[in-house]
Amino acid sequence: MVFSLGSINADLVIYSPEFPQSGETLVGDSFFINQGGKGANQAVAAFKAGAPTTFIGRVGKDYFGDFVVSEIKKYGVNTKVIVDETATTGTALINVDGQGKNKIAIVKGANEKVGEEELKLFQESAKEGDILLLQGEIPVVTIILAAKIALEKRVITIFDPAPVNADLKQVLPYVDYVTPNEIEIKKLSGSENLKEGLEVLKQMGAKKIIIKQGDRGIHYIDSYQEFTLPSYLVKAIDTTGAGDSFNGALAASFSLGLPLMDSLKFAIAGAAISVTRKGAAISSPTQQEIQKLLEENIEKSTN
């Protein structure tokens, strides 16, 4: 079983030819609302990639809360969601430009109150060999406690330190895998030099580091090995949720019993497919789609 204990948002998305400048009103091409939040997105990605998955989180008692819970359930994800009458559902305003790049502003809402009740739900459900996905959109103290519970139960943890802030470095000693991009490494470590930043993360307790490098693939480092894996050549339409697709697919691949190298390739393929589609959770691919892309690239490499 894959668990994702984290955020769930309503994503309000505008597509426009370019990003508006400060003070400028720009006419967009299209608009839609969908379920988002890194925790929920990664839960959907893991489920679609082939793993039984449970999302644990919190929403407000409002229209967006009803909407996002109904949306995540449509995918087949098991949900343990607390409805908080004192908070609003988390919301993200997303602007995507003509090149598929995005700018995002988030109001955490009920996600800021994820804590003791959610931790209890996880502790009661998790068992040895399960996978736990964690992200940075809920309180740091909750993330640390969840990681400690996972450590005690021998649950594999995958931590996405985004949106990045310096406090998230406290989580590193308690997780198995951390999946930052280069900017997040610099902000977590306090160093503008990437190599020095990685050494700082190791000193902070990071065990297995997977550096997300977008269309350049990933770079992997642990105590025994270090290597780079390329991405797959695709036409990017919308990069929103690509990192979530990667982490969800990685969790699914571990749940499916794939070895590390195959798991990383599986996750890279999941992220690559996701950028060819609009949206976040909705863009993450199925297990069959990922396997098809992997098989096609094996055929190319042997021809």
Buried-exposed string 221-245: b where 16+ CB fall within 10 A, e elsewhere: beeeeeeebebbeeebbbbbbbbbb
Distance (Å, whole) CA 82 – CA 93: 23
Question: Please, what sign has the CA dihedral across residues 101, 105, 109, 114?
Answer: positive
Q: How many residues does the chain have?
A: 303
Whether the Cβ atoms of residue 214 and residue 275 lie closer than 8 Å to each other: no
Question: Please, what sign has the CA dihedral across residues 27, 32, 37, 38?
Answer: negative
Give the orientation angle of helix 38-48 with respect to helix 242-255, to 10 degrees: 50
Provide the CA 235 distance to its chain's centre, in angstroms. Answer: 21
Residue 160 to residues 177, 251, 281, Cα–Cα distance (Å): 9, 12, 16
Provide the CA 166 distance to its chain's centre, in angstroms. Answer: 18
- Which string of DSSP letters, residue by residue, matches 168-184? GGGGGGG-SEE--BHHH
Longest CA–CA separation in the chain, Å: 60
Catalytic-role residue among 84, 176, 238, 244: 244
Does residue 176 have an active-site annotation?
no
Q: Comparing C-alpha atoms, which of 185, 118, 187, 158 is closest to residue 250? A: 158
Residue 71 sits at φ, ψ, to 5 deg, of -70, -45
**Which residues are marked as active site?**
244
